[in-house]
């Protein structure tokens, strides 16, 4: 494992859908397609 975070630049639409724990299926943006996130 790397000892320190790598400074990378973020690309793409920041509102793209992903999963974050229980927020997995909630659309962050109604017109976009999806992120899943970590559980609190």
Partner 1 sequence: MSIPIDVQIWSDVQCPWCYIGKRKFEAAVAQFDGEVQVTYRSFELAPDTPVDFEGTPIDYLSQRKGISPEQAQQMVDRVSGIAESVGLEYHYDRIHQTNTVLAHELLHFAKAHGKQAELKERLLRAYFTEGGHIGRADELAELAGEVGLDASAAATALAEHTYLPDVKADMAQAVAYGIQGVPFFVIDEKYGISGAQETATFLAALQQAAAERDAVPVEAS
Residues interacting with partner 1, by CB under 8 A? 1-2, 4-6, 8-14, 16-22, 24-27, 33-39
Nearest distance, CB of residue 40 and partner 1, angstroms: 10
Give the closest residue to 18 by CA, choosing from 40, 38, 39, 36.
36
From the CB of 2, what's the least distance to partner 1, in Å?
A: 6
DSSP for residue 39: -
Minimum CB separation of residue 4 from partner 1 in Å reads 7
Phi, psi of 8 (to 5 degrees): -105, 155
């Amino acid at each position: 494992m790397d000892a320190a975070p790598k400074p990378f630049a973020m690309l793409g639409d920041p509102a793209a859908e992903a999963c974050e724990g229980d927020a997995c299926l909630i659309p962050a943006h109604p017109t976009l397609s999806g992120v899943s996130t970590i559980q609190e």
